[in-house]
Amino acid sequence: MEIKNLNGKKVIELSELEYNDLIEKANGIDRVLSTMLEAQDIWLSDVGKIESLKYSLIELLSLEWSSEAYRYVPRAEVATLKLKRKKRLSK
């Protein structure tokens, strides 16, 4: 997977395998949500599946948790956010 900036927009280029992996994850989320809606209850196994899908997407998209932004951001942004915070705190 490659992320590019084109005309001020982020463009994600995926290989066929990565594209199919995203499709599988979308279908996995759909199956879990369908089960949850049918049961009208949150089953522990479904919560585990959602958590697993979350981490798969984080890894696939090369994300990292940023304590500065309190959210997942592209790995390249983490160092930038830390540097900005360090500069802000040193003033």
Overall domain count for the chain: 2
68 and 56 both lie in a single domain: no
Query: CA torsion sign, 44 to 45 to 46 to 47?
Result: positive
Distance of alpha carbon 64 from alpha carbon 29, whole angstroms: 21
Report the candidate in 55, 72, 56 with the shortest Cα–Cα distance to residue 64.
72
Q: What are phi and psi of 5, to 5 degrees?
A: -105, 120
* 24-67 pLDDT, tens digit each: 888 888 888 888 777 766 667 778 888 899 989 988 888 888 88
Residue 17 pLDDT: 93
41 and 5 both lie in a single domain: yes
Domain containing 68: what range? 64-91
Q: Are 39 and 26 in contact (CB under 8 A)?
A: no
Distance of alpha carbon 22 from alpha carbon 2, whole angstroms: 14
pLDDT at 19 over 90: no
Total-model pTM: 0.51
pLDDT at 9 over 80: yes
